[in-house]
Structure 1
């Protein structure tokens, strides 16, 4: 069974819960706001599947990619998509190409409570939710099982997630490469605590007296380099501060206080990445 003795040894990918045949793994949130697997020993059959899919214990080494990356600089010619995106809007262009083939697109979306979850959906109208960076950990419970089911019936899938989530997906798939699967990750600086972000949003909602209706990390009010946090509220008000004055960005980018313990000892950085495509900002 999966047994986390050091928090640095769990990236919170949720893969162990997806493969448990008895559903005996739940995820408990610690005082920092990160989830870790907890096994119900009364129902565990000691099959060790949870250990076999853990990308830290068993890296996806059978998934082979280029030893040296092939690098392309590109951006979307659609001004509205590029402005609303990070990394030049390339993810949206890839997703639109996949939607045109009736494929399913996976990515991270906000929930009503301002947490983030991974989804996979064939509806192009959900792309606006998926688009753009969300600098906190996304819950992937159930998404690996759903993707595996879609692939087995011949559906095409385009999945975007953190490097650890992409490796977790390949582990759930048995390190098997599917011709109908395309994976995409990004240069990751670490995932932040959902608990901290909810507290931050509670503060803003009290300050502005209304529910937040739209959250945009890396808004471009002051350009691409001096990006900002923008939050819109149900009463029509708007909050916007740049990366040097917004409290969440200060805690993340300047103080390095909000990130999951495993991210400081990341097992998934460097090349070759396991995803088919890795996105990043190209600054000149």
Structure 2
């Protein structure tokens, strides 16, 4: 049994977030609380953590029972099926992060009158937020990857309400491993009978960066370039899917590359503390389907590889297989295997960098622009090596 649970007195005030490494910020505890005793507060790094009002809490422990990070993870018993897929429609493929797995899987749900609970970028507040999409035009706004932790808010409650009001329809919930697991735990604790009304889909995740760091970065860009951000992309395919371009548009015409932010992102300092201990960076997931980029497809199957993108689909359950069978006609499909598809975040969590504390100390004491300059720029020798590498690879 998890040590945390075994040591917790049955009727004491639950300890939800004294250890930041054990809280993924999925909002499940906040959503399940029958007395609304839990609020989500931002810490100094800009991540949300639950805070319990002890005067309102009735010590029912529903929050602990719903926390997917504080319980033992039991792997599924079904064999995982592995596929590489590319959407057959070129326009859809080009406008998707990889092979358009998200679009293909969600299309069938929408066509049957269902809905999609997913994250899309809110340009007013400059962060991705979860919404319920019931039309393809709205769903299309959720395409692409945003390297920022999404704001969940009341989406679990809204999705549950949608399920209640649409008993003959299906909901597809898609998020990172922790977000999808959080929603599954929420539904299990509300009423297990509703599990068969939801398709649980998670994405292969590198880690969740600080929303606060990102929004301050956006403010910095808008101030520096004298305009509002009107478009964000982290995986534009102008140079091919294997070399994605990250950029924003200021106004209608001015494009700004996000090289400093991307470098900091891949240095891993801005990730949530729980990401370095993520239990969902493996093949044993309690979801129906996992999707992501099929990195390395050009080596294991060069003929299937496309510069426009290729998705990896891992099917964990019979329910996931049923959904995939309904949608596979829109894809070019290659039957793959686990050995061929493995990538770092299917094997282990992203490693915590040794200089993480120094980075956040610099950020707190010296500000955003200082850390952008210190951590967001390549040294001269690194730039030279990269140019040489590209000359020989082109």
Aligned to 2:46: 33
Gaps of 5+ in 1: none
Using the size of structure 2 for normalisation, the TM-score is 0.67
CA separation in 2, counterparts of 1:223 and 1:158? 29
Aligned to 1:162: 176
> In the alignment, which of 130, 134, 155 is matched to residue 118 of structure 1?
130
CA separation in 1, counterparts of 2:43 and 2:196? 39
Aligned to 1:91: 102
Q: Aligned pair in 2 of structure 1 residues 165, 124: CA closer, same or farther (>3 Å)?
A: same
Classify the secondary structure of the residue corresponding to 1:178.
Answer: helix
Classify the secondary structure of the residue corresponding to 1:138.
Answer: coil
CA separation in 2, counterparts of 1:14 and 1:59? 19
CA separation in 1, counterparts of 2:54 and 2:163? 32
Given that 2:178 and 2:280 are in contact with CA atoms closer than 8 Å, whether structure 1 keeps it comes out as yes
Using the size of structure 1 for normalisation, the TM-score is 0.92
More helix by share: 2
Given that 1:212 and 1:233 are in contact with CA atoms closer than 8 Å, whether structure 2 keeps it comes out as yes
Q: Aligned pair in 2 of structure 1 residues 130, 2: CA closer, same or farther (>3 Å)?
A: farther
Given that 2:237 and 2:244 are in contact with CA atoms closer than 8 Å, whether structure 1 keeps it comes out as yes
Gaps of 5+ in 2: 1-13, 299-394
Aligned to 1:181: 198
| 1:20-99 → structure 2 map (5 Å cutoff) | 20-59=33-72, 61=74, 64=76, 66=78, 68-99=79-110
Given that 2:174 and 2:200 are in contact with CA atoms closer than 8 Å, whether structure 1 keeps it comes out as yes
| 1:134-149 → structure 2 map (5 Å cutoff) | 134-149=146-161
1:166-225 superposed Cα distances (whole Å, 9 cap, x missing partner):
111111111636332111111111100011111221222122211001111111122111
Aligned to 1:265: 277
1:100-158 superposed Cα distances (whole Å, 9 cap, x missing partner):
00101111011211112111221222112211111111121211122223334413101
CA separation in 1, counterparts of 2:151 and 2:15? 18
Equivalenced residues, count: 277
CA separation in 2, counterparts of 1:3 and 1:163? 19
RMSD, aligned CA? 1.7
> In the alignment, which of 10, 18, 33 is matched to residue 31 of structure 2?
18
| Structure of higher CA gyration radius | 2
